[in-house]
Amino acid sequence: MKRLISLTRLILLISLFHHITISLFAEDWIVPPDKAEKTAPFVFSKESVEKGAELFVKNCQSCHGDPTRGNFAKLDPTPEDPASEKFKELTDGEMFYKITNGRGTMPQFKMILSEDDRWDLISYIRSFHSGYIQPEPELTSMTGAGERASMTILFDSLSKMVTISVYTVKNDMKSPVKGAEVLFFVKRYFGNLSLGDAVRTNEEGIISYPFPDGIAGDSTGQLTLIAQLNESSGYGNAKKAILVPLGVPTEWISLTAPRAMWNINFKAPVWLILSYSLTVLGVLLALVYIMLQIRKIFYLGSAVDDAKSDKP
């Protein structure tokens, strides 16, 4: 009887944990008021919708499905159909905030897509919302001169130093941007490898960036360095890339090599197959053990009942 009580308590605890987990993830996704009021920095157009459609297929369709078809993935919380009323009720700022920061199974697309790419996605989603009228584009995200900052990136092979210059152009005159934050990445197969915190430009709008040691490059040490303005600093999101010989020579495994990428057991890494098989076996053995204990408890209870019924 004690074992039955313990088993019942365990089942109740598991059920309670599952309920709490679902509740936490299913709660409303609150967006800060100042973020909810944010608007796009450009007018949505046929071109932005077309670009957004391409980005949606590559980055969003696997979870959100095809707009208007309701064939989104059965996840918790549910991704929902972008053409639904739930999406239509969101402000552009709320949608931008959620795409940017992600939550749960949804990634932070600020690490994957540029600011303009994310607005193009919203442009595409809005094309399914009848009656939608775009708010006035937000020019406050531009620089004080009313223009977005541009950027150049240069590499000095002698000093092995990368130099970034951030500036605005007005009337064919360049003006350096002081205090602009620049993020650095190295291109990888999937996404980009961040090289740390943002670095600010000096009084002349320049950053002399000492590339960190130990970063893997190709077989000759070449790698693609990406510099991107941090959009949160208010100067736009200009991005530049340059090929530099600053990496550690590395022989990368081809994505088409055996057991490098997989979609069938034959291609899967051996360690993954073993781990998965042992996990499944462990779960099955645990279930068998529980069933045997329940069976044992049942027979013990029956024996007790029979003994009681045999008494005069």
Among residues 93, 126, 159, the one where a domain terminates is: 126
At residue 71, the pLDDT reads 92
Residue 171 domain-assigned (yes or no): yes
Residues 238 and 276 grouped into a single domain: no
Amino acid residing at 41: P
pLDDT attached to residue 236: 78
What's the domain count of the chain? 3
Residues 240, 179, single domain; the answer is yes
228 and 168: one domain? yes
**What is the number of residues in the chain?**
312
- Residue 256 is assigned to a structural domain of this protein: no
> Hey, how many other C-beta atoms are within 10 angstroms of the C-beta on 296?
11
253 inside domain:
no
Summarize pLDDT for 102-150 with one digit per residue, the tens.
888 888 888 788 888 999 999 999 999 999 999 887 644 333 433 578 8
The larger pLDDT score, comparing residue 312 to residue 73, is at 73
What is the distance between the alpha carbons of residues 242 and 248, in angstroms, rounded to a whole number? 16
In angstroms, rounded to a whole number, what is the distance separating the alpha carbons of residues 43 and 26?
Answer: 33
- Pair (119, 43) in one structural domain: yes
Distance from C-alpha of 130 to C-alpha of 306, rounded to nearest angstrom: 72
Percent of the chain topping pLDDT 70: 81
Q: Is residue 12 part of a domain?
A: no
- Clarify whether residues 182 and 214 are in a common domain: yes
Task: Kindly provide the residue ranges of all beta strands, DSSP E only, lying in 230-300, ordered along the sequence.
Answer: 239-244
- Same domain for 109 and 35, yes or no, is yes
